[in-house]
Structure 1
Amino acid sequence: MILVTGGAGFIGGNFVLDWLAEHGEPVVNLDKLTYAGNLNTLAAVQSDTRHHFVRGDIGDPALVAQLLAEYQPRAVLNFAAESHVDRSIHGPGEFIQTNVVGTFNLLEAVRGYWHELPAGRKAAFRFLHVSTDEVYGTLSAGDPPFAETNRYEPNSPYSASKAASDHLVRAWHHTYGLPVLTTNCSNNYGPYHFPEKLIPLVILNALTGKPLPVYGDGQQIRDWLYVKDHCSAIRRVLEAGRVGQTYNVGGWNEKANLDVVQTICGLLDELKPRDDGQLYRTQITFVTDRPGHDRRYAIDARKLEQELGWKPAETFESGIRKTVQWYLDNQPWVQNVVNGAYREWTDKQYPLQHA
């Protein structure tokens, strides 16, 4: 049994789906179901007896302790986080509460559980913390990609809160001996992505005839990682990663935001042409850049490849085609997100639990 936090979000939800497809091992899935948590993502495993969903907060140490005592997991994987930079700029408090205070409370509950385990299970236990490359700050055009040894220089409330959570995880290992692993990933994309993020927003706006907003000059560069590749990397780190180590997970796909938007437009021109015969790129609109916008992120994932033999299976070209096709094929999921119906059903079916 493993315990996954934030397993109804974008990356966590994909991880749960892939884990149950790849393993027979059950999952306890703890998610607060904020706006970005969507149980429709997990519809395929709704009746799967290996999937135990609990609506709750990682910041509720009594609830986490209760779940740990009841299910006795061999590992905890922490995906739970507030993760949208724009939202962190307008309302940083929630990011501090979830990403910093929540991680602290989770670590304390896990430490208490781990400390009481029998020797063999204690040695085998792992706490895997999923983080971001944004903790490293920004890169200039000629800088080498972020390595695990780069110093932390976060520039947004979001990245600062994630940097703080990474430091807490590191400290709980060095001070208390908690067997931790940390992964710092580049920009994820793929199925079930909440449509406030660039790629799903562009797809949705394109199909509905709305402007395709591009910040500034659109030359901000990101390293794009297909979410299912990220999931396979996390499985590999959990399986064989060295305790106390950090592993950067990247797709080796540096792309400017404008190039990403234009690629999506080209795929939609091919797969679902506009009724009026116009090209989707005519909807591109440049908007005022956001405050403190980092210019470039890039991940050096050689440590993960050299130590654990992991490499991404998808190129950006193959992954983005799969992603656009998924959104075209899954419009009911998208519409439930857009109209908010997923939240109304969630609130009725899954009240927030407390210990």
Structure 2
Amino acid sequence: MTRRTVRIAMNGVTGRMGHHQHLVRSLLALRDQGGLPLDDGTVIWPEPVLVGRSPQKLRALAERHGLPEWSCDLDAVLADDTVEIYFDAQVTAAREEAVRKAVAAGKHLYVEKPTASSLAGALELARLAQEAGVKNGVVQDKLFLPGLRKLRRLVEGGFFGRILSVRGEFGYWVFEGDWQQAQRPSWNYRAEDGGGITADMFPHWEYVLHELFGPVRTVQAQLTTHLPRRWDESGTPYDATADDAAYAVFQLAGGIVAQLNSSWAVRVHRDELVEFQVDGTEGSAVAGLRGCRVQHRSVTPRPVWNPDLPVTEPFRAQWQEVPDNADFANGFKAQWELFLRHVVRDGPWRWDLAAGARGVQLAELGARSSAEGRRLDVPELGR
């Protein structure tokens, strides 16, 4: 057995997502299991180098997890030839400049989304990475969630017949920050800092729809700011200038209609924080983060509309749970494993910066659709 150490500059891991999902539940989890084994007996050993702006937070994080290296000097870390990969989970507004530096330093790239604040910026990053010959990837974690992996299994197995529609509900109530602390950082609600639920979630919806059902061809969206006043981490009130809800209808290739509601101002009355219902000629499914339930055509009940009588049918009980039939790892960890294999052994990979640019494009078009009050075509990038 040969250990292959891969040093990774991790920028933005003092934040919630970067810390919990990427550092602890992905790379440190891989170290806890002894590394990532390859077929030839090599074991990939990820070695995080923490990067950020706060020395106090970085030092505390490094000490908590027994990591020897951290730095507030991104340029110095990128100048280190032993660092192979640059990972970015910073606020969106800071990402583009840092990724440009990493490309110039010849590092392989793995970044959160959105990859840039504009489509032009996202396409430029993809072009620079291609010209530099560096391997690059964008986090598309929802594809690796158990619920959506079961949904993909149903699609690939032909369960739905001809797929007619997709309906998605995502969101929860994010406290304003006055009488209860908000669950999300305040920059999420300031447009000038790159906030907004459209910029945050439409890149997710693009890759979920694209990978499972087909490319998005048109978008019609309504963005709104339901809660215009919030309180930041220090308890100071501020104006929420970014959208906190987006309601959209997408037309996909093949005529499939997708309706997706995204909101940080909604109270949850469903089994999971995100759910997708897919209806087809032969059957339907409802998938969340982990679970997936189905109802086949052959066992579909015959509801009859009668508003004068109380409902007696147990609608939820008429659906069947899809079994796991596999062990599902953390979705972020699963994609990290694929990317590390891609870097070390040229393993298969398709979630690159060009794919990430499609998500930025959809967010831009969603915002423009809302501003202009009309449906917009989604041009195919690269053509």
Q: TM-score range by the shorter chain?
A: 0.3 to 0.5
Bigger helix share: 1
TM-score with structure 1 length normalisation? 0.38
Q: Report the structure number with the largest CA radius of gyration.
A: 2
TM-score with structure 2 length normalisation? 0.36
Bigger strand share: 2
